[in-house]
Amino acid sequence: MSSGDPTILHADLDSFYASVEQRDNHRLRGLPVIVGGGVVLAASYEAKAFGVRTAMSGAQARRLCPRAIVVPPRMSAYAEASRVVFQIFRDTTPLVEGISIDEAFLDVGGLRKVSGTPREIAERLRTDVRQQAGLPISVGVAGSKFLAKVASAVAKPDGLLVVPFGAEIAFLHPLPIERLWGVGAVTSGRLRKFGLTTVGDIARAGEAELATILGRASARHLNALAHARDPRRVQTGRRRRSIGAQRAIGRGQHARDDIDAALLTLVDRVARRMRAARRTGRTVVLRLRFGDYTRATRSHTVSLPTSETAVLLAVARSLLAEAQQLIDERGITLVGVAVGNLADEAGTQLTLPFGTVASPSPGQLDSAVDSIWDKFGKAALTRGALLGRDPGISVPLLPD
């Protein structure tokens, strides 16, 4: 058993987008606020009390909470708020691992003499975020990243929870199975069908029994978490293993051209981010969510790493064509594209252009488009296929 205090913090801004809106408009404070019209991007806790959830359709959210105030997203405001908060994280400790624009892990080990105990550091962090960024934040403190993240979720909204060494199992086992990483709606349904409803049930079932329900890999993963085993440390400067984007397109019938336009917008966005980060990749992944809220994933790996839009788009379109029958049968509510098997651009093997080149290469075209977008903004140059279409929302992200 470890001695001393747990030193890993998970800091998570509460209902981030909605909190920024309430901060910047005093008339919204204490009222149910929904960010985003067609699809809920965020909901204040006052709206969540009526059952409103992120990614829910706007129509369903308004039925649940007719008094909700719906506001359009302001991505630049959220990006600036995130910048301020992450500077507070870095002022707290040099060991910061960003997870998204509104949450991070911090390791405060070794700071006791200069900054106090982990609890004191967490309390001061919450105060600094409230005073300097004007936002509520929940913090979990534990001996592992997994437990710290669970603790911050239990502490919400606007709370602090410390899980001391030796108290991990007592804290974890009464919680519902959905608190475990990797337990979504489908996995939860399978486990509950077998009478497994709490984390303690998972631990007592054992890996062998879980394997008969979920398979070996998932059983090993959940059994370890249920026993509070998570050896991962806070990593600074960790680069993404994949770069992706997704877009909710709402319920109802969608023409194939509309779905293709959404796919094209996503591929443009992903490819541009890859080139900005000087990354290339080999595996293109297509993620779909159907009208019945089931999901499907398709992937294909190309022979050479690339960040060329034309190559990534061709692969993504072929994957979409493979899934078209399912889309026709079930409808579609979300499209996502990601590129994995990433490598640094400097290590990419390039194909030599033997012979006479009569027109610019795809890479040259991408570079020209990137330059125009960087200088004049995306509105300055638009694909003909996207004219008159809603490009969707570009969500602020941590650097790739």
13 shares its domain with 149: yes
Domain membership flag for residue 232 = no
Q: In CATH, what number is assigned to the domain containing residue 210?
A: 1.10.150.20
pLDDT of residue 381: 72
pLDDT digits (tens, 9 = 90+) for 68-118: 999 999 988 999 999 999 999 999 999 999 988 999 999 999 898 889 999
Q: What's residue 195's pLDDT?
A: 95
Give a yes or no: residue 154 inside a domain.
yes
pLDDT > 50? residue 386: yes
Which residue in 103, 120, 308, 345 is the catalytic one?
Answer: 103
Question: pLDDT tens, 356-371?
Answer: 455 566 677 878 877 8
Q: Same structural domain for residues 120 and 203?
A: no
Tally of domains within the chain: 3
Shared-domain flag, residues 221 and 261: no
Calpha distance 301→339 (Å, rounded) = 9
In percent, the amount of the chain with pLDDT more than 90 equals 65
CATH number at residue 4: 3.30.70.270
128/81 same-domain check: yes
Cα distances (Å, whole numbers) of residue 250 to 22, 75, 290, 292, 387: 26, 20, 10, 12, 20
Q: Are residues 67 and 158 in the same domain?
A: yes
The pLDDT, as a whole number, for residue 1 is: 45
Counting residues of the chain whose pLDDT is more than 70, the rounded percentage is 90
Tell whether 268 is in a known binding site. no
- Domain assignment present for 378: no
pLDDT higher than threshold 90 for residue 55: no
Same domain, 180 and 277: no
Residue 352: what pLDDT? 47
pLDDT over 70 at 2, yes or no = no
Q: What is the predicted pLDDT for the residue at 31?
A: 97
201 and 99 housed in the same domain? no
3-state DSSP: the chain helix, strand, coil percent, rounded to 5?
A: 45, 20, 35
Residue 2 domain boundaries: 1-163
Domain boundary, last residue among 328, 344, 360: 344
Average pLDDT, the chain: 88
pLDDT reported for residue 145? 96
**Does 103 participate in catalysis according to the annotation?**
yes
For residue range 264-317, what is the model confidence (pLDDT) as tens digits? 999 999 999 999 889 999 999 999 988 887 889 999 999 999 999 999 999 999
Q: Is the pLDDT of residue 350 over 60?
A: no
* Per-residue pLDDT at 271: 93
**Same domain as 253, residue 214:** no
Supply the pLDDT for residue 394.
Answer: 60
Residue 364 CB contacts under 8 Å (≥ 6 apart), including other chains: none
In the numeric block, which tokens belong to residue 301?
Answer: 């790996």
Gap between the Cα atoms of 20 and 14, Å rounded: 10
Q: 209 with 314, same domain?
A: no
| Residue 77 is assigned to a structural domain of this protein | yes
Residues contacting residue 313 through CB under 8 Å, at least 6 positions apart? 263, 264, 267, 271
**pLDDT class for 344, splitting at 50, 70, 90?**
confident
Which two tokens mark 304?
């050479």
Asked whether residue 292 is marked as a ligand-binding residue, the answer is no
Domain membership flag for residue 385? no
Angle formed at CA 359 by CA 353 and CA 365, multiple of 5 degrees: 90
Give the residue with greater pLDDT, 214 vs 240: 214
What is the band of 354 on the pLDDT scale with cuts at 50, 70, 90? very low
140/216 same-domain check: no
Q: What is the pLDDT of residue 365?
A: 80
CATH code for position 271: 3.30.1490.100
The answer to whether the beta carbons of residues 100 and 122 sit under 8 Å apart is no
